[in-house]
C-alpha cells in the first residue's frame, strides 16, 4: 500500500535521542581529525545549522516566512556580548539560556503584529526588523560598543581538554577544537528538542495551520497563538545560533549579521531541504565549507578572488545551487535520499502516488 505519507508522529523520544546522539558523537569524532581551520569552520556551520533549523520549523512547519532571522541572531549575539562584560565567569549554559530567552522575546515582539500579516507583508515586516538592528547597534554606543562592536573572550578551553593535545600548536589546536566540539554539542541538543517538536502535538498544530487555517481553527487550533509560538521558537533558535556564532568569533559588531545573512539562511534551508533535521545539518555543512568551494572554483577558473567577480563568488554559487535544487530536487539535498528510495521502490511496484487512485 501507499506508505509515503506516514512518517510523522512515529518513533519514541528515546529513538530520537539515540539518533541525534549518534550523529553528534560522529561529528565530535570528525573534529579530532580535522585541522584547526576546518574545526573553526565546522563550529560556525554548527551555529548556523541551529538558525537554519529554526527557520525550517517556521517556514516548513508553520508556513510563515521570515527575513528577520539575522536580526534575531544579532539580538542573541549582543545579549551574549553584554552579559560577557558583566558576568565573564558564569557558566556558559547561562549565556545560552539568556540568548535564547532574549531571542524568543524579540520573536514575540515581532510575532504579535506579524500574525495578522501574510506572505509579502509578513516578509516585509521581518525584513524591516533585521534592517533596523545595525542602526540601533550603531546608535546605542554605550551598550553595544557602536561601530566597533563588543569583544569578549568567554570561550576558554578547560585544562583537561588542553591536556589532550601536545606538540607545537597544542593551544591553537585545542582552542579550535574545543570551540567546534562545544558548538556541535549545543547543536545536537537543539536538534533533539526540535525532533521532539516535529513529532509532537505542537508540531501537528503548526502543520494544520500551514495546510488549511480555517479547518485548523475548526479542530481547535488557536491561530494567533500557534503562529506566534512558531515565531518565538524560531527566534529562540536564531538567538542561540547568534550567541554561539559571536562566541566563536569572540566579537559582535553591527556588520556581523547583515541583512544578506537572512537571505543566505533561506538559501541554506532550501538547499538542505525545508522542514527536515537533515536539511538543517546539510545547510550548516554547506555554510561551513562554502569558502573552500569558492576558493577551489576561483583557483580552477583563475578568477582573482579580490576582483568584483571573485568577491561575489559565494553568492553566485549559492544562486546556481539554489536553481539546480529547485529544478531537480525541490525537497532539497535531504530529499534526494527518500527520492532515491522511491525510485527503487517504483521499480518493484507501479506508480504509487501518480494518479488519483
Partner 1 sequence: MSGGPSSEATAELVDVTVRFGGLLALDRISFDVQANEIVGLIGPNGAGKTTAFNVICGFQKPDSGTVRFPALGRTALKPSQLCAAGVARTLQGVGLFVNMSVLENVMAGAQGHVGRGFASSLFGLPAGRRHELALRDHAMVQLERLGIAQFASSLPGSIPYGISKKVSLARALMGNPSLLMLDEPASGLDESELDELAQLIVELRESMSVLLVEHNMDFVMPLVHRLVVLNFGEVIATGAPSTIRTNPDVLAAYLGVDP
Contact set with partner 1 (CB under 8 A): 1-6, 8-9, 12-13, 16-17, 193, 195-197, 199-205, 207-208, 210-212, 214-223, 229, 353, 355-357
Alpha-carbon distance 259 to 128, whole Å?
9
Rounded Cα distance between 23 and 278, Å, is: 10
C-beta of 174 vs 238, nearer to partner 1: 238
Q: With respect to partner 1, which residue has the nearer C-beta, 207 or 342?
A: 207
Residue with the three cell numbers 563550529 = 43
CB of 357 to partner 1, least distance (A): 7
- 246 CB neighbour count, 10 Å cutoff: 30
Could you tell me if 104 and 170 are in contact, meaning their C-beta atoms sit under 8 angstroms apart? no
Residue 223: CB minimum distance to partner 1, A: 7
- 197 or 250, CB closer to partner 1? 197
How far, in Å, CA of 175 to CA of 155, rounded?
Answer: 9
| Closer by beta carbon to partner 1, 107 or else 149 | 107
Q: What backbone torsions phi and psi does residue 157 show, to the nearest 5 degrees?
A: -75, 130
Residue with Cβ nearer partner 1 (193 or 289): 193
Beta carbon of residue 59, minimum distance to partner 1 (angstroms, whole number): 13
Q: Least distance to partner 1 from the beta carbon of 101, Å?
A: 14
- The one-character DSSP state at 88 is T
**Closest distance of CB 197 from partner 1, Å:** 6
CB atoms within 10 A of CB 167: 6
Distance CA 178, CA 208 (A): 41
Amino acid at each position: 500500500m501507499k506508505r509515503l505519507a506516514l512518517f510523522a508522529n512515529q518513533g519514541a523520544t528515546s529513538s530520537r535521542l539515540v539518533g541525534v546522539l549518534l550523529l553528534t558523537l560522529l561529528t565530535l569524532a570528525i573534529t579530532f581529525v580535522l585541522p584547526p581551520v576546518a574545526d573553526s569552520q565546522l563550529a560556525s556551520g554548527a551555529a548556523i545549522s541551529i538558525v537554519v533549523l529554526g527557520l525550517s520549523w517556521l517556514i516548513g512547519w508553520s508556513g510563515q516566512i521570515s527575513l528577520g532571522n539575522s536580526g534575531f541572531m544579532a539580538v542573541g549575539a549582543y545579549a551574549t556580548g553584554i552579559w560577557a562584560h558583566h558576568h565573564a565567569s558564569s557558566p556558559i549554559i547561562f549565556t545560552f539560556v539568556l540568548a535564547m530567552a532574549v531571542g524568543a522575546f524579540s520573536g514575540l515582539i515581532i510575532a504579535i503584529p506579524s500574525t495578522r500579516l501574510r506572505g509579502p507583508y509578513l516578509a516585509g515586516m521581518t525584513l524591516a526588523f533585521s534592517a533596523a538592528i545595525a542602526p540601533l547597534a550603531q546608535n546605542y554606543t554605550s551598550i553595544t560598543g557602536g561601530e566597533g562592536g563588543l569583544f569578549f573572550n568567554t570561550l576558554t578551553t578547560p585544562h583537561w581538554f588542553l591536556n589532550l593535545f601536545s606538540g607545537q600548536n597544542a593551544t591553537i589546536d585545542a582552542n579550535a577544537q574545543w570551540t567546534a566540539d562545544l558548538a556541535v554539542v549545543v547543536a545536537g541538543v537543539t536538534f533533539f528538542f526540535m525532533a521532539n517538536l516535529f513529532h509532537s502535538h505542537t508540531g501537528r498544530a503548526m502543520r494544520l495551520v500551514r495546510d488549511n487555517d480555517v479547518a485548523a481553527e475548526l479542530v481547535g487550533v488557536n491561530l494567533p497563538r500557534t503562529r506566534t509560538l512558531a515565531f518565538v521558537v524560531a527566534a529562540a533558535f536564531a538567538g542561540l545560533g547568534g550567541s554561539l556564532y559571536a562566541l566563536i568569533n569572540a566579537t559582535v559588531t553591527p556588520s556581523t549579521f547583515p541583512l544578506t545573512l537572512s537571505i543566505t539562511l533561506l538559501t541554506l534551508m532550501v538547499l538542505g531541504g525545508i522542514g527536515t533535521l537533515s536539511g538543517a545539518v546539510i545547510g550548516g555543512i554547506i555554510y561551513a565549507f562554502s569558502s573552500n568551494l569558492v576558493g577551489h572554483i576561483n583557483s580552477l577558473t583563475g578568477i582573482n578572488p579580490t576582483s568584483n567577480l571573485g568577491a561575489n563568488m559565494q553568492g553566485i554559487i549559492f544562486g546556481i545551487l539554489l536553481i539546480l535544487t529547485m529544478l531537480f530536487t525541490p525537497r532539497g539535498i535531504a530529499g534526494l535520499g527518500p527520492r532515491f528510495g522511491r525510485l527503487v521502490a517504483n521499480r518493484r511496484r507501479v506508480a504509487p502516488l501518480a494518479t488519483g487512485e
